[in-house]
Amino acid sequence: MIQFAVCDDNINELSNIVQLINLYRISKNFSCEYVVFHNGLDLISALEKGKRFDIYFLTKSHQSYFSPHPPSLL
Residue 64 above 60 pLDDT?
A: no
- Average pLDDT on 51-63 reads 83
pLDDT of residue 59: 82
Beta strands in the chain (DSSP E): 2-7, 32-37, 55-58
Residue 34 above 80 pLDDT?
A: yes
| Residue 72 DSSP class | P
pTM summary value: 0.75
Mean of pLDDT over the chain: 86
CA 26 to CA 24: how far, in whole Å?
A: 5
